Structure formats: C-alpha cells, structure tokens
Amino acid sequence: MGILEVQNVNKSFGGLKALTNVNLNVEEGMIHAIIGPNGAGKSTLLNCFVGRLIPDTGAVTFDGQSLLGKKPHEINQTGVSRVFQTPEIFSDLTVLENVMIPCFAKRDGSYSLNAIKAVGNEKDILEKAEQMLVDVNMADKRDMVASSMSRGDKRRLEMAMCLSQDPKLLLLDEPTAGMARADTNNTIDLLAEIQEKRHITMVVIEHDMHVVFSLAQKISVLAQGTVIVEDLPEKIKGHPKVQEAYLGGAH
Amino acid sequence: MFGLRKSDSVLLLIVIALTVFAPFILNPFPENSVMAQFNAGYPDLMQRLVIFGIFAIGFNILFGLTGYLSFGHAAFLGVGSYAGVWMIKLLTLNVIPAIVVSVIVAGAFSLLVGWISLRRSGIYFSILTLAFAQMSYALAYSVLTPITGGETGLQPKVADPRILDAALEEGVTPRANLFGMFMNDSYEMVVGGWIFTFNVGYYIAAICMVFAFYLSIRIFRSPFGLMLRAVKSNQQRLNYTGIESKPYTLAAFVISGMYAGLAGGLLVAMDTQAGAERMFWTASGEVVLMTILGGAGTLIGPVLGAGFIKYFENIVSKINANILETWFSFMPDGISDLFVGLIYPFIGKGWHLTLGILFMLVVIFLPGGLVQGGQKIAGMFKNKKDGSDSATSSASAAPAE
C-alpha cells in the first residue's frame, strides 16, 4: 500500500484526452519522479492531486483518504504541499513574512483571527520561520521583498514555505527549471537532505535527467496521458518503451 | 508605546497632535483678511474632516490590505446613520447609544453584504457591492420611507418618545448631547485678529478617529493583517497553504463596515439627521478616491486623502465669481475678465472638475498617493543631508519600513 494511490484516473478537456487510465503508487518516504515528454499530462496529473482539477473518473487516495472533491486548502490540511512550476509566493511581502504565513496555518484548519497581537510578538512562529530560512540558506535574504529575488531564490523560498508546514507529501513541479547549474546542484542536495532528515515523501516532475537520476528512487514514465513504465531508475534508463516515447519511435 | 513599534508610535502621536491642535492649524489666517476664506477651522468642516477620516481608515482595512475594492461602502455609512437617528428618536438625545448602535447595525448589514459579495472577487465583487449600495439607496427612497423618511430624510422631532430622557420643554428644539454637553457648543478664543473655535462635537469625533486610527495600526501589524496582505498578494498560494481566505476577507469587510457605521453614527451625532443621499454611489466613490489619493495600503494615507478632499471640497466650492473678480481686480479690465473666465469653471459648483484633475495628477505621477509624495520630498531632503555628512547618516538611517 502506498501513501498516495492513483487508480484509473481519466481527465479530458473537451475532445482532448489528457489522462487515460493513469495508475500510480507512491510509497511512503520515497522520492518518486514522474518524467515524460512535453504534453504527456504530468502537470495535469499533479493538478488532480491538489484539487486544482477534478478527474472525470478514477480515484486519488492519500493516506487512506480520498482527495477527490476536496478543496485545495482542505487537501493541504491533510499534509500535501506543492511547489509550482512558476513560483507561487507572496511577492509583495518580505521573505520572512512569506515563511511565517505557512507557519501560522494550522493543520486542523482553525483560524487565527488575532487582530490585536503584533506579528513580532509571535515568538514561536518567528523562530520557526527563521530556522527554516537558515535551513534553506536564505537567512541573509530575510528582509528582502520576495518579488525582488532571482527565480532560483523564489523557488527555494517556495520550497521553504512548503517545508515549514511539515508536509507528509511534497509535490514538486520542475523544481530546478530555469536554474543555473550550481543552483540545481544545491537544490538536489537540499532535497536529498530533506528526504534523509525528515522522511518526507516526494513526487517530482522533472525534465532534467541529471536531477531525476540523482534523486529518484522510483520513476514513472508518462506518455500521451498514460503511464507506460513504472520502475527503478536503473531499469528505466535503457528501457525500450521509454526511448520510444522520448525519441518518437515508429508507429 | 501602547504595544506599537517606534515608528508607528511616532505616527500616532503626530495624528493626535494634529487633531488636538486642528482648530489652530486649520485657521492660519486672521478673520478679516482676504485669505480668511481659506480657513477651515470652523466646526462643521472640522467634524467632517475627522469623520470621513474614520470612514477612509476603515475602507483602507479592506481595500488597502486585501485589495478587494468595495464600491458600496456608503451603504454602511447610511445604514449606520439611520440606526443612529432612530436611537436618538427612541431612546435619548445622548449620542452614545446612537454611535454604538450605528456600529452594530452597520456591522450586521456588512456581514450580510460581505457574505454574499465575497463569493466573487475582482470586478464582480465591486459590482456586487455597488448593486447592494444602490439597492439600499433606492429602498431608502421608496418602500422603506416609514423607516428612512424617504426624500425628507430622518430627523428627531419634539414629539419623539425618547424613553430615557425627560420631556423637552415646549418649543425647545431637540439637540444631541453627551451627558449635557451639546454637540454644537463651541468655545471661541480670540487672539488678535484670529478666532479659534473649539467645538464639543469635533473633539468627540476626533477622539473616535484617534482610537480608530490606533486600532487600524494594530490590525495592520497583527497576524490577521499579515493574512490580509497575503490575500492581496497571492490568494492562490494562500489556498495551497491550507488557509481559506474567505473568513479573513469577510472579517476585514465587516470591520471596515463597522468603521463606516461609526462614521455614520458620528455624522448623526453632529447634525441629528440622515438622508438617503448618503448611500448614493458617488458617496461610495468618494471614499475610494480618498483612499487612493492619500495612498491605499498605507496607515496615514486615507486620513490625508479624506482631509485633502473634504478641505478642497469646502474651500474651492465656496469661491464664487465675485471673489474671483476681487482677486483679479488689480489687472486691466479685459485681462481680468479673461482670467476670471478661465478659472471660473474650476470653482464653486465646478469643484468636481478640480478634484478630477487633482486625482488624475496624483494617480499618474504619484501612484502611491500623497504618502508617496511625502516620501519623495523627505527623500530629497535626506539626499541633501547625505551630501554633507553621508558617512554618519547612511549608517543610522536603517529603513523603518
């Protein structure tokens, strides 16, 4: 039994079939990569996990609960956090404030409407957020406005925001896209370290094979809306079906 | 001080000083001088300055923090006003029940309007709030006439029950008071050619405004305020962080509705009447202008914007053709007529033209409002100083925000 189970998920947009009978089984504590050519349906699949899209048919179960029909915030409360392809951060706020907000978010969905206490007096939240920034090597950018940072830093900030919620499952949509080589390697190290220390299950969508083969413990290959292979990394590399999907084998 | 950080305490003290000494600050010219018409230190205008300041401070909590542009906030001011007048008619001429009930009723009404309007965002939200305000306006004018007084408006009468008050003597007009201090009582101080007026009603409204301003600072700096800014910045991310934004935006909506109710209650306390025109869409638009003109999302901006608009509305609309002619009378006849003709469209009833031009200039050249203008001027002074002793000042000039 995996922590995230996807069974026979179908999704079409008008006449276009984006996902066809997708099955996926993500085991707890693993880094599971989803690869595939452009337009294979990787992001669509991820959107079905977080409530942005609702599958036409099929089941998505996380930790024993169905995620279908849940709203994005309810899904997050079950322990699923997502890093987006284009960083979704609070661009007008400072880096520290960006990380403080997920620290305020309660798992049970209770609301803190405290309008009188000053943010600066929330000692535990402040400490937690600052520690998180140290963990991702961003302590020096603490008071910068988020929108003024580089793309790589924004993505790192988004990762810090997700991690500060102690998620059980972290979904990463191309976490190194647009990053310089050095930043990419830093991100690989960071993710490996997180997985080692916190045993967070991760699902990574990635184009960069260097990243995929450095991190993934299991790989699913998606092509034309369906999973063609699911296997260990070393077996994926030479798999004929995979090569066909990527190189456009003869039909 | 009062749990505020240092820069905010300074701001609060400045606002307190400005409101306390407003009768002096707004009356800089001697009574009989030519410039006396630019004086604003008379009770009616001073009351309006602080009351609309409260209205704008409250509006800024919604618009400035969450980015939700309500185009119907005058409805809450109007509903608060009606509730206030009814308290004066039914209970007592003491203004406290009127003000308190105005806030509560406006809060309840904004809960209803907000709960429905906040199902949408952006332009649809604005249109929904506008629709509610226009409905309220139309209802107040027509079917709700028994409650609102319709076209004649609502005002206390000698025959009202006022169950908490002793009966008024024959022929005495009912006047609002606070434990015997009448709202329109004033003390006049004559110093040389100057007359400074200290009005009871003004100071009561000013105390309310200082408190309202203090509360808005606390809200801005609180975790709740942080969440509201997060709503404005990226609602999507907030949802994917496990936070539903609606309770926060609704709370902000109700708080700003209650601020509008407080403003409505104070208006009633000052002039003991309410009319449907207070809810007309231009009144809702005015508070939007005030907030943007002053600087949306800043603490002091809405107060400045409200003061700016109310001051110029009163002063510019008072100038008439005769006054213009005396200004230009030193010129030869033809030229003075030309100048009078050129300026005439901008004064008196043409004051909205002046406001429109000022608003355009501010939005184009100072998108951050008057506050940004102030910061630019302060920045220019700082640069000059830096030129002389750059080493010391740059080290000490840590950004206070």
* pLDDT tens for each residue of B231-274: 999 999 999 998 889 999 999 999 999 999 999 999 999 988 89
Would the pLDDT of A174 be above 80?
A: yes
Give the C-alpha separation, A152 to A175, whole Å.
Answer: 9
User: pLDDT at residue B211 above 70?
Assistant: yes
Highest mean pLDDT among A95-109, B73-87, B330-344: B73-87
Whether B295 is in a domain gets the answer no
> Mind listing the pLDDT tens digit for each residue in B145-186?
888 988 889 988 888 888 887 777 777 778 888 888 888 888
User: Over the range B206-237, which residues count as b (16 or more CB within 10 Å of their CB) and which as e?
Assistant: bebbbebbbbbbbbbbbbbbbbbbbbbbbbeb
Residue B326 host element (H or E): helix B321-327
Confirm whether B368 is domain-assigned: no
Q: Which residues make beta-bridge pairs with B196?
A: B189
Pairwise CB contact (< 8 Å): B241 & A76: yes
| Residues of B in Cβ contact (< 8 Å) with A119 | 221-223, 225-226
The 10s digit of each residue's pLDDT in B365-392 is: 998 899 999 999 998 888 776 655 444 3
| pLDDT > 50? residue A180 | yes
Specify the pLDDT at position A106: 76
Residues A85 and A98: their CA atoms lie apart, in Å, by 18
SS3 A167: coil
Q: Using CB atoms, pick whichever of A72, A116, A117 lies closest to residue B239.
A: A72
Structure-block tokens of residue B288: 């939007």
Note whether residue B332 is domain-resident: no
Q: Do A111 and B248 touch (CB under 8 A)?
A: yes
b/e B248-260 (16+ beta carbons within 10 angstroms → b): bbbbbbbbbbbbb
ipTM over 0.85: yes
In a domain, B264, yes or no: yes
- Residue B116, domain member (yes or no): yes
Nearest to A88 among B227, B229, B234 (CB): B234
- Cα A116 from Cα B147, distance rounded (Å): 37
Please tell me the total count of domains within chain B.
Answer: 1
Residue B176 domain boundaries? 6-278
- B377 part of a folded domain: no
**What per-residue confidence (pLDDT) applies to A248?**
65
Residue B394: pLDDT band by 50, 70, 90 thresholds? very low
Per-residue pLDDT for B34 more than 80? Answer: no
The domains of chain A, with CATH numbers, are 1-79+169-251 (3.40.50.300), 83-166 (3.40.50.300)
Q: Least CA distance to A106: which residue of chain B?
A: B242
Nearest-neighbour CA in chain A from B289: distance (Å): 23
Could you report the per-residue pLDDT of B264-315, keeping only the tens digit for each?
A: 999 999 988 899 999 999 999 999 999 999 999 999 999 999 999 999 888 8
Range with the poorest average pLDDT among A30-39, B189-198, B388-397: B388-397
The per-residue pLDDT for range A6-46, each reduced to its tens digit, is: 999 999 998 888 899 999 999 998 999 999 888 888 889 99
Please list the alpha-helical segments (H only) found in B195-280: 200-221, 223-233, 235-239, 246-271
> Which positions in chain A touch B258 (Cβ < 8 Å)?
none
The answer to whether A7 faces chain B, any CB pair under 8 Å, is no
Is B355 contained in some domain?
A: no
Q: A118 and B241: CB-CB below 8 Å?
A: no
Span A74-90, mean pLDDT? 91
CATH number at residue B52: 1.10.3470
Asked if the structure places residue B294 within a domain, the reply is no
Tell me the shortest Cα–Cα distance from A246 to chain B, in angstroms. 32
At A177, the pLDDT band (50, 70, 90 cuts) reads: confident
A189-208 pLDDT per residue, tens:
888 888 888 889 999 998 88
Using CB atoms, pick whichever of A76, A113, A118 lies closest to residue B221.
A118
Supply the pLDDT for residue A111: 64
